[in-house]
Structure 1
């Protein structure tokens, strides 16, 4: 049995319908700024230059260690300065529209973003997956998706816009609020994990293609992984791409997270159908980029995601081709039973066929775990995310795609 809750967390300067209040000066968002950019933002205030680093450190600690969502809570800062900061800057949370809790404990949040210049407020989805030895937060990087992968529900939703670094990192703040993970909350939690963390891993596998929002993803990861803040190790952050070949090596250099490739097919013909981006960057180019991923080693393997679709990509011959493709790449293969969604024509492979496939891959020396579907009853499983966001005009979508490419 799943549970659905309506939760209204509005932005601090929003009207009843969520749009900005006219007449109020625009406040600069601080969430998602790197430490360098936070210092730069404070340098534009009346804070004396000799105090800037100290004040930036205080703010960083309040935002990412203590989880403050209002300047009034920052009691180590004078009331006068708190008031000045509140007039200039915004540290409010993304609005939670609904929270759904699956029968298996998976949680999905529908989050509404701040209004854009035209007053539109789009939505994204974020999923938390609890397991015995970890807790994984699946976050989004775009509203909708640039790509049109045919097996993916998100792929049926047109790209609306990229998320800002603050909107990417802000998903973790919302999740920590709801899970009670901040230090002043977790010590009183009845089910607090021994590690002191509910969220141990972060995966950029939600809505969107992260490498088509490169700069914002890079800055968000910088904030998420910073050792003096949220402190999620880059070894516990995984960026999943459908194969944006020119950005893969750059991601290794500038972002430095673990890498996952949405492969899903062993021939260009099959992958062209499932992941149309393959027509631009075919399998041979994709795997060459993987072989050149910075830091690649047996201790830092690439994960290849492979959704199991009945009669499409699940034969023993497919498994043997996959093994040949991965030769020379330190890798593991995540086999994902296809998760159905309304309107799809695909079916999940039979369990016996998945086991045959897994055995062939494992015998060749590649770990091949079959991912247990989580949150299917609330459409929170892999490939099921899709918000009800407003679409942009075609001209606006084309401009976004041109910028991404």
Structure 2
């Protein structure tokens, strides 16, 4: 069964010059940035470290949505924060629940740009027996135009702020009931007390083209007093922005996934056009020198299975050769069709034969079970509904303006 919950109106009025400025959000601020905020409002230096820790915990560990709830913060400071700042969440436009328990949220971002445009992104929660994975977005749209990916058919609009990246996790925790106060009254808490055990930056956008905001967001996610997820439970997926890969390892320090999908430059040029700028040889060289790489911190190579494109035995053998010497795991992904896609999924027998060759070479190569296909939440299917909604609005306006007979 698929459930769709319409949670808010889809129509927004743009900001005008007469409308008041939108208060700055505290969501997405690191400890250092929170300290700067406290300097702005005149908190003495001797108090700042304590106040930063208090506010940080309320924002990211307790998930409060009101300054009033920060009960160990003095009332004058709470009132000053409320006067200047906001804790508003991203707006849930739509929530869909798949028959397999996968959840997808279409989330509206705060106004941005001179006209106060409102854009949307998607985030997906995937429950499994041993984990709960949240797939989050880093950009509105995407610039890479990977031909097998539904998101790649949407042009890049803008980067997400650190607050908008973190905001997806806050919404997921809200809706799953994962905050400490919610779990206390939950009759069926998850194993270990957490619904979200892993985060993957595999949603809309290329994370390494939004490096600074992704870095700040993951700093908050991995802080023990914040969202408190180990960096080994955070995976950043890149299509292969080679110059940024070493920086990702040194400065973000999370697990790395490479969206590979082809074993020759000819095939990968078609599937992942970024390969024309950073060909396979350069990508593999960057992987071999990824900071912290070891058998305990393997790189995941994502490989979507496309019939008669990249699924032959020869492709499997080339893949093994490419990865020689790299501690690696290979995720084989049955292609998830979307309307108008130019590819078909490989037959199951072909996928198993491909996996067998890779397994015999000593690489773990699980075949990923498609999740959330009935709500277009499976790998490669994410695409904001913004363009479709705007087109629908235009049709309604045109119909209303059309002369009647």
TM-score interval, normalised by the smaller of the two chains: over 0.9
1:194 Cα deviation (Å)? 2.6
Query: 1:187 and 1:26 mapped to 2: Cα distance?
Result: 34
Q: Shift in Å at residue 75 of structure 1?
A: 2.1
Cα deviation code 1:270-298 (max 9, x no counterpart): 00000000000000000000001001011
In structure 2, what is the equivalent of residue 162 of structure 1? 159
Counterpart for residue 96 of structure 2: 100
**Structure 1 residues 352, 301: closer, same or farther in 2, change over 3 A?**
same
CA 83–390 in structure 1, closer or farther in 2 if over 3 Å, else same: farther
Is the CA contact 1:20–1:115 (under 8 Å) kept in the aligned structure 2? no
Distance 1:356 1:16, change over 3 A: closer
Where 1:86 maps in the other structure, the secondary structure is helix
Query: Does residue 282 of structure 2 align to residue 290 of structure 1?
Result: no
* Greater Cα offset, 184-193 or 305-314: 184-193
Name the structure 2 match of 1:34: 30
Q: TM-score, normalised by structure 1?
A: 0.93
Q: Greater CA deviation, 51-60 or 241-250?
A: 51-60
Question: Quick check: 2:207–2:237 contact (8 Å CA) kept in 1?
Answer: yes
Equivalent residue of 2:324, what SS?
coil
CA distance in 1, matches of 2:74, 2:281: 59
TM-superposition CA deviations, 1:344-394 (whole Å, max 9, x none):
121100000000000000000000000000000000000000003359xxx
In the alignment, which residue of structure 1 is the partner of 2:399? none
**2:240 aligned residue:** 243
TM-fit CA distance, 1:20: 8.3
Residue equivalent to 1:8: 8
Any stretches of 5+ residues in structure 1 without a counterpart?
392-405
Map 1:294-305; keep pairs closer than 5 Å.
294-305=291-302
**Cα offset for 1:139?**
0.3
Deviates more, 1:30-39 or 1:320-329: 30-39
Q: Map 1:161-310; keep pairs closer than 5 Å.
A: 161-310=158-307
- 1:333 corresponds to: 330
Partner of 2:400 in structure 1?
none
Deviation at 1:232, TM superposition (A): 0.7
Structure 2: segments with no counterpart, 5+ residues: 389-405
1:138 equivalent in structure 2: 135
Distance 1:65 1:129, change over 3 A: same
Q: CA RMSD in A?
A: 1.7
Quote the offset at 1:8 in angstroms: 3.1
Q: Which moved more, 1:361-370 or 1:381-390?
A: 381-390
Kindly state the Cα deviation for residue 247 of structure 1 after the two structures are TM-superposed. 0.3
CA drift at 1:40:
1.0
> Hey, what's the Cα distance between the residues in 2 that align with 1:111 and 1:33?
20
Equivalent of 1:377, from 341, 365, 374? 374
CA displacement at 1:189 relative to structure 2: 1.5
- Which segment is superposed worse, 17-26 or 299-308? 17-26
Report SS of the residue matched to 2:4: strand
Residue 187 of structure 1: CA displacement?
2.0
Residue 165 of structure 2 contacts residue 214 of structure 2 at CA under 8 Å; is this kept in 1?
A: yes
Partner of residue 64, structure 2: 68
Judge conservation of contact 2:63–2:170 (CA < 8 Å) in 1: yes
- Structure 2 length as normaliser, TM-score? 0.93
Distance (Å, rounded) in 2 between the aligned partners of 1:247 and 1:98 = 34
Q: Aligned partners of 1:49, 1:173: CA distance in 2, in Å?
A: 30
Change over 3 Å in CA distance of 1:144–1:370 after alignment to 2: same
What CA deviation, in whole Å up to 9, does each residue of 1:322-360 have, x standing for no partner? 000000100010000000001112110000000000000
